[in-house]
Amino acid sequence: MPKVSIIIPTHNRPRLLRRAINSARASGSEVEIVVVDDASSDETAETCRSISDITYVRVDRNQGVAGARNIGLVASRGEYVSFLDDDDQRLPGSVNKQIEALEKNPDAVMIYGQAIPEDPSGTRHQPYPAECPQGDIFWELLTRNFVPCGSAVFRRECLSRVGLLDEGISGIDDWDLWVRIAEIFSIAAFETPVMIWRQPTRTSAQGSSCTVELIEQGRRRFRQRWLKLPRLTSATQDRQREAWRSFSNNVSEHLVWEAFSALGKFELRYAGKSALTALRLHPTALIDLLRRWTSASTLDILLTSTRTRGELANAKAHFKRIRSSRT
């Protein structure tokens, strides 16, 4: 029986796939590579048949990334499981090292690492995430997804305890799984780059290119499912509110950043869409953001003054000062 199964879902990208498979093979010993061909209509099948010692699973009806990963789980046998996207690469020996670290830490069921983002042009950036929190990271994960999907190696048994991936939310299915795992189990981190992560662009037709849609989906998931997780329902009201606030702050920050970067590339429509989504979804978070960015004491005081009487007095004094300085 293989020790670790690396599951590579793929759809119509035979050229990139070969690179991903080679990198997966070099990443560890006793590796079982399972390629799930999600109803590709090109020469993916021939490419895979020409590569020896991989398990090739042909899915005849397109299932989406999450469904394909689930099928890979059914078709694989390894004690440990890792997902790899067909356009990403594993670094040599990385899976071995991660398993070694995970076995030293019997409490943890999963270990993740850093990813080196790479532009389609080939330039590489600083490893992400810069800091890797570990242990009980449930609350951090609720706020943002800092676990690059391909960098995680987890024990198969933990999947049967929290359930498989959700096919209905392809794109954030991995985030949802990390949240569900972190709710119950401890997660270890390996603060070294373990993979190369090809950055999506809006034209690269990767699943993750439509950030705005993904964000809306994530928001829906937060409200409909995550808020109902036993760990959250048993937490205090303040804790719940805090979780929601940091989630929405993070989301709106992301959207605003997205809008600015689109503006820089003169993609006006996309910029407008991002900004409007931010405004529509999280108006309060956006004000919070403006406050932090402008750090204008006036705005700050205006916003906080309504809360207590003492602050109101402060605000009055502040405006008096402004007026007197003008005259």
Partner 1 sequence: MPRVSVIIPTFERPHLLARVVASARAAGADVEVIVIDDASTDETAAVCRDLPEINYVRVERNQGVAGARNIGIMVSTGKYIAFLDDDDLRLPGSLGLQVEALEAHPEAGFVCGAMIMADQELHPNGDVVRPRQSGSDAFWELLELDFPVMPLCTLIRKECFLRAGLLNRHISGVDDWDIFTRIAELYPVLVIETPVGIYRQPTPVSGQGSSARAAQLRVAARHQLKLLRLPRAAAAPFRQRRASRKRMMNRISENLLWTALTQYLPHGRLRPAYANISIALSLAPLSVVRPGPYKKLARNLLTKMRLMKA
Pick from 8, 17, 71, 179 the residue near partner 1 by CB under 8 A. Answer: 71
Q: Tokens standing for 213?
A: 């849609």
The reply on whether position 106 binds partner 1 by CB under 8 A is no
The reply on whether position 168 binds partner 1 by CB under 8 A is yes
Stretch that binds partner 1, among 51-59, 104-112, 247-255, 265-273 (CB under 8 A): 51-59
CB 42, CB 111: distance < 8 Å:
no
What percentage of the chain's residues is helix, strand, coil (to nearest 5)?
55, 15, 30
The reply on whether position 75 binds partner 1 by CB under 8 A is yes
17, β-bridge pairs: none
Stretch that binds partner 1, among 41-49, 70-78, 188-196, 297-305 (CB under 8 A): 70-78
The reply on whether position 229 binds partner 1 by CB under 8 A is yes
The reply on whether position 107 binds partner 1 by CB under 8 A is no
Q: How far apart are CA 103 and CA 239, in angstroms?
A: 33
Pick from 42, 43, 74, 120 the residue near partner 1 by CB under 8 A. Answer: 74
Nearer of residues 154 and 190 to partner 1, judged by Cβ: 154
Q: How far apart are CA 39 and CA 57, in angstroms?
A: 10
Please give the single-letter amino acid code of residue 57: V
CB of 162 to partner 1, least distance (A): 6
CB of 266 to partner 1, least distance (A): 38
CB of 5 to partner 1, least distance (A): 11
CB of 58 to partner 1, least distance (A): 7
The reply on whether position 159 binds partner 1 by CB under 8 A is yes
Q: Any idea what the Cα angle at residue 219 is, between residues 218 and 224, rounded to 5°?
A: 100
CB 54, CB 34: distance < 8 Å:
yes
Strand arrangement, sheet containing 89-90: 55-59, 31-38, 4-10, 80-83, 153-155, 108-118, 186-198, 89-90
Interacting residue ranges for partner 1, rule: CB under 8 A: 57-61, 63, 67, 70-71, 73-75, 159-164, 166-168, 180, 183-184, 229-230
